[in-house]
Amino acid sequence: MDPASHPRRVLFADGGLPPSIPVCDHYSGVEERMRKSLALQAQLGPVFDVTLDCEDGAPVGAEARHARMVVDLLRSSENRFGRVGARVHPVDHAAFADDVQTLVAGGGERLPYLMVPKPRDLADAQRAIAAIDDAARRAGQVQGPAVHFLIETHGALRDVFAIAALPRVQSLSFGLMDFVSAHLGAVPVSAMGVPGQFEHPLVRRAKLEIAAACHAAAKVPSHSVVTEFKHAKAVGAAATRAAHEFGYLRMWSIHPSQVEPIIEAFAPTVAELDEAIDVMRAAQAAAWAPISHRHDGVDRLHDRASYRYYWQVIERAHRTGQPLPAQCLQDWFGGAA
């Protein structure tokens, strides 16, 4: 296929398409669990990211040693796909600078992103990015890892559209637990669980603001945790609501049992994928002019606006490991399974 006619190039020539990263972000903070997470990723494939936690996972007083251990894992053969990131301490923490320097210099090209928690406002986000870029320059890198931020303070939520618009930002996550705690008891503990986190007005507002800011800036909104990790149905139901009602493209996992329900919830159905492939094939055959396509016994008119929607269905299927016809894989994804 002529590269000039690839859907990404034709339909998103002016940008506006979020980065194509996995729909699930799995967090591990203890070395044994980190290794188990990497083994699960090796088993399932690069359909989810693993984030090695240098914030909550680091023993107090041993932060530097913990960061070096994370670098060893990043550079090991256990990191099969290069989709292993790390979470650092907040920008005002004494360990932040050492975390960044150690991970950026040691991880190098094996470190796709850094997650920075608890920015208090836009200025904190800018400080964090400057420190990451400075560490990359010191290490002789053209550009450092992508930057993800965890939005969990009142100030960061106030500035969320400006933070999402920063060029180095790839994704914003919602920090449910700290956000609820920041209300000092005014938001009940039930808002940390399911279904409360989807129903309390202040939490709903925060989720919607973060998602809207990310979509406005073509970044990836990542949904908060579900603490009911032993209830696969609750995890799947929460992930489905996050994707379908709140516009999230990615979600955190904090237990291996959550990974597959999250991926399944964010994946398109077989029917959705079949329709998307049919429409995109017909659109390409028509050189991207409007077409009439029959689905479920109804003729519908499609043009580039709906083509953009259907292309994102196909990309989501590919990111979640859904089977695609061999010719689609060859034409659209270079034959990658």
Q: For residue range 176-185, what is the model confidence (pLDDT) as tens digits?
A: 999 999 999 9
CA distances from 108 to 64, 181, 195, 225 (A): 17, 35, 40, 28
Give per-residue pLDDT as tens, 127-143.
999 999 999 999 999 99
pLDDT band at 336 (very low <50, low <70, confident <90, very high): low
Q: How far apart are CA 293 and CA 301, in angstroms?
A: 6
Residues 6+ apart with CB under 8 A from 79: 38, 73, 110
Same domain? 210 vs 328 = no
Please check whether residue 90 lies inside any domain of the structure.
Answer: yes
Outline where DSSP puts E strands in the chain: 24-28, 49-53, 84-87, 113-117, 146-151, 169-174, 220-223, 250-253, 291-295, 298-302
Please check whether residue 212 lies inside any domain of the structure.
Answer: yes
The burial of 318, by beta-carbon neighbours within 10 Å (0-12 exposed, 13-18 middle, 19 or more buried), is given as buried
In eight-state DSSP terms, residue 268 is P
Same domain? 164 vs 308 = no
- Give the end of a domain, one of 221, 249, 266: 266
Average the pLDDT over each of 21-25, 85-89, 118-122, 223-227 and give the range with the smallest value. 223-227
Average pLDDT, the chain: 96
Please check whether residue 198 lies inside any domain of the structure.
Answer: yes
Same domain? 192 vs 290 = no
Please check whether residue 16 lies inside any domain of the structure.
Answer: no
Same domain? 128 vs 217 = yes
Same domain? 180 vs 290 = no
Whichever domain contains 227, its CATH number is 3.20.20.60
Same domain? 154 vs 281 = no
Q: How far apart are CA 170 and CA 306, in angstroms?
A: 25
CA distances from 50 to 25, 74, 93, 287, 288 (A): 6, 10, 23, 40, 38
Please check whether residue 215 lies inside any domain of the structure.
Answer: yes
152 bridge partner residues: none
Burial 85-100, CB ≥16 within 10 A → b, else e: bbbbbbbeeebbebbb
- Give the end of a domain, one of 266, 286, 312: 266
pLDDT band at 115 (very low <50, low <70, confident <90, very high): very high
Same domain? 147 vs 195 = yes
Question: What's residue 325's pLDDT?
Answer: 95
Please check whether residue 19 lies inside any domain of the structure.
Answer: no
Over 90: is that where the pLDDT of 13 sits? no
Domain of residue 274: give its range: 3-11+269-333
One-letter amino acid for residue 21 of the chain: I
Outline where DSSP puts E strands in 191-265: 220-223, 250-253
Please check whether residue 18 lies inside any domain of the structure.
Answer: no
Q: Are 171 and 221 in contact (CB under 8 A)?
A: yes
Q: How far apart are CA 148 and CA 246, in angstroms?
A: 19
Same domain? 244 vs 295 = no
Same domain? 220 vs 115 = yes
Q: Give the whole-number percent of the chain exceeding pLDDT 90.
A: 93
Read off the pLDDT of each residue in 255-269 and give the average, rounded to a whole number. 97
Quick one: tokens of 147? 């930057």
pLDDT band at 5 (very low <50, low <70, confident <90, very high): confident
Q: How far apart are CA 122 and CA 63, in angstroms?
A: 26
Count how many domains the chain has.
2
Same domain? 155 vs 67 = yes
Quick one: tokens of 53? 């936690």
Q: How far apart are CA 176 and CA 225, in angstroms?
A: 7
Quick one: tokens of 51? 């984030």
Same domain? 46 vs 187 = yes
Question: What's residue 223's pLDDT?
Answer: 98
Q: Are 267 and 242 in contact (CB under 8 A)?
A: no
- Give the end of a domain, one of 215, 250, 266: 266
Same domain? 251 vs 131 = yes
Please check whether residue 167 lies inside any domain of the structure.
Answer: yes
Q: How far apart are CA 99 and CA 106, in angstroms?
A: 10
